[in-house]
Homo-oligomer: A and B are copies of this chain.
């Protein structure tokens, strides 16, 4: 059985032809075209349909041969109606994207889901959380994204806008967040936040005359990123280790909240910071197990690095149900 998954982003439209069921789902062909998000919605959909036709034709297939086409889209995606209610960085306002795609690519079944939710579903079907009914995916990137799988289904609330786990305050009155609140988890645990903490530590070292590799590394790179502190820690820099330690403690705080709220079987961590894999997980997991409610009495959530990388959205979209 062939399915298509479309991961619609602000920059690119990535389309994959997917075969295999459940944990065996895999992409056999993939194509990406620029979104050019400043165009009218109809033009974006026309490009989505064109890539679907192309990728299917290369396997000798037509739209009628595709069992399902799923769209992972930014914003508020109503999976019951196929309408994108709103997207921040794309020209969608109550836009019936499933129906519009169906006019140009008449696949018998077209579904939609929010992109973070679709990625979480991809990991739940064929990635780090495969085989579990209850899982949460957290993406540590520009922001902190979240996707909730509850009892074998994507959970998105009554208005399709749920799962904004990064906008859970963990430090009331703390760091300002882009959403307008103060102290959101995103303001402490995103890659952006890690870079900001790194900059603060460099400034602090400079002010106190303390030497740190991070200063040289930032000068050499021309910028501070989420990798600066991790790389300098690996090179033995004590100030960098302090930044990582602080970052990990806030990340553990938010993840322990997620455990206490959801008791998911698996939490999978994606996004740039999660590329640190064991360097991130080793100090992180014991902090969560130590603090979680009912620790020692209940079975513990597994904390894992996500496995599908950038393909999670395509696979999740293709496997929507």
User: Once the chains bind, are B260 and A76 in contact (CB under 8 Å)?
Assistant: no
Q: Which residues of B sit under 8 angstroms from A169, Cβ to Cβ?
A: 170, 253, 256-257
Q: Which residues of B sit under 8 angstroms from A207, Cβ to Cβ?
A: none
Stretch in A2-10, A261-269, A275-283 with 4+ CB within 8 Å of B: A261-269
User: Once the chains bind, are A158 and B263 in contact (CB under 8 Å)?
Assistant: yes
A233 within 8 A of B: no
A180 within 8 A of B: yes
Decide if the interface of chain A is mainly helix, strand, loop or mixed.
loop
A294 within 8 A of B: yes
User: Once the chains bind, are B257 and A157 in contact (CB under 8 Å)?
Assistant: no
Report the minimal beta-carbon distance from A255 to chain B, rounded to whole angstroms.
Answer: 11
Q: Which residues of B sit under 8 angstroms from A150, Cβ to Cβ?
A: 150-151, 155
User: Once the chains bind, are A162 and B132 in contact (CB under 8 Å)?
Assistant: no
Instruction: Give the number of times this chain occurs in the complex, counting copies.
Output: 2
User: Once the chains bind, are B159 and A260 in contact (CB under 8 Å)?
Assistant: no
Report the minimal beta-carbon distance from A299 to chain B, rounded to whole angstroms.
Answer: 5
Q: Which residues of B sit under 8 angstroms from A181, Cβ to Cβ?
A: 256, 291
User: Once the chains bind, are A162 and B85 in contact (CB under 8 Å)?
Assistant: no
Q: Which residues of B sit under 8 angstroms from A250, Cβ to Cβ?
A: 172
Partner of A253, one of B172, B265, B291: B172
User: Once the chains bind, are A261 and B165 in contact (CB under 8 Å)?
Assistant: yes
Q: Which residues of B sit under 8 angstroms from A85, Cβ to Cβ?
A: 297-298
User: Once the chains bind, are A168 and B261 in contact (CB under 8 Å)?
Assistant: yes
User: Once the chains bind, are B151 and A133 in contact (CB under 8 Å)?
Assistant: no
Q: Which 9 pairs show the lowest CB-CB distances between chains A and B?
A: A157-B263, A162-B263, A158-B265, A164-B260, A161-B298, A168-B257, A167-B260, A159-B298, A164-B293
